Amino acid sequence: MLAFVAALLLGGALAACGSGAGDPGGGAGASGTAGASGTAGAPASPEDAPQRIVSLSPSATEILYAVGAGDQVVAVDDQSNFPQGVPTTDLSGYTPNLEAVLGYQPDLVVFSDDDGDLASGLDKVGVPYLKLPAPGDIEGAYEQFAQVGVVTGHADQAHELVGAVRGQISAAIDTAGGAGQGLSYFHELDPTLYTVTSESFIGQIYSLFGLENIADSASAAGAYPQLQSEFVVSANPDLIFLADAEPGGESAASVAQRPGWAGVTAVRDGQVYALDDDTTSRWGPRIGELAQHIAQVLADRPGT
């Protein structure tokens, strides 16, 4: 999760200077020439779609497989672990190594983070790429689904995917039935109290249920601020969601042992919930599952 936090902060900083990731038809590859360098565009024909894709982002990996491009993926980074059977390698998405990436002879490289060397290196050797930084909202995630579909030759499947995830989230809101209105929450990214505000795609999902984010008053620090323990205790959230509850990680019991936290409403009332850290940290098609989990928590609360 510490690596995820770092990636999110870096991704947000780089989003403004990316290579046209929000424009499926823009950039140097817009002509449909699969071998052109720069941001990849739509292939001129199905036969021209990339067949050796390297993904350096777990979110991108999940999107690629969800739109039907899994058979075109030859390598993914060391953090990509879903769906089962993806060709995981020791490639790093946080500190990409151009030579290692090129060893897989890619005709498309998809990544979320870049210190500037990867994109420029791919430009020099004429390999198209697609940069997909953490989106600012859910619509941004949908746009990435569509873009990956277009670039890989699966536009129709991507359109269907967007519709399916929208349907999941809509059904989740119906399941909650307004049970989140007026409740406050704290979403914990890691034990050092990095969190999200409503300006993030994660925070926006919570907002759909009427939940109020205690971190929003710290939004001046960006979409992923780090809070002080005293701040969380003072804010007294009704619900706490732990995205750092992987085996050996945080739990309701460990949270209750923190100085001053035993009296927090969420802890006192047993409203501390573990989340799957992968599902929570990725902006791929499983954001629908995250919404469904939140909805079930709200629907099952005593008195709802």
For residue range 47-66, what is the model confidence (pLDDT) as tens digits?
A: 899 999 999 999 999 999 99
pTM of the predicted structure, to 2 decimals: 0.84
Residue 214 falls inside a structural domain: yes
Q: Are residues 6 and 92 in the same domain?
A: yes
Domain total in the chain: 2
Query: So what's the pLDDT on residue 277?
Result: 87
Q: Of the residues 111, 133, 153, which one is the last residue of a structural domain?
A: 153
Please, what is the angle between helix 155-176 and helix 138-152, to 10°?
A: 160
Q: Are residues 206 and 88 in the same domain?
A: no
Q: What is the mean pLDDT of residues 146-155?
A: 96
Containing structural domain, residue 66: 2-153
Q: Are residues 58 and 187 in the same domain?
A: no
Query: So what's the pLDDT on residue 18?
Result: 34
Q: Are residues 186 and 280 in the same domain?
A: yes
Which CATH number do you get for residue 70? 3.40.50.1980
Q: Are residues 87 and 21 in the same domain?
A: yes
Q: What percent of the chain has pLDDT over 70?
A: 86
Instruction: Look at residue 7 and tell me whether its pLDDT is greater than 80.
Output: no
Sheet with 184-188: list strands edge to edge: 212-213, 184-188, 239-242, 272-274
Query: So what's the pLDDT on residue 39?
Result: 74
Q: Are residues 149 and 174 in the same domain?
A: no
Mean of the per-residue pLDDT values of the chain: 87
Q: What is the mean pLDDT of residues 32-55?
A: 74
Q: Are residues 131 and 172 in the same domain?
A: no
Query: So what's the pLDDT on residue 45?
Result: 83
Q: Are residues 176 and 148 in the same domain?
A: no
Instruction: Look at residue 38 and tell me whether its pLDDT is greater than 50.
Output: yes
Q: Are residues 94 and 185 in the same domain?
A: no
Query: So what's the pLDDT on residue 41?
Result: 82
Q: Are residues 132 and 205 in the same domain?
A: no
Residue 14 falls inside a structural domain: yes
Q: Are residues 68 and 190 in the same domain?
A: no
Instruction: Look at residue 31 and tell me whether its pLDDT is greater than 80.
Output: no
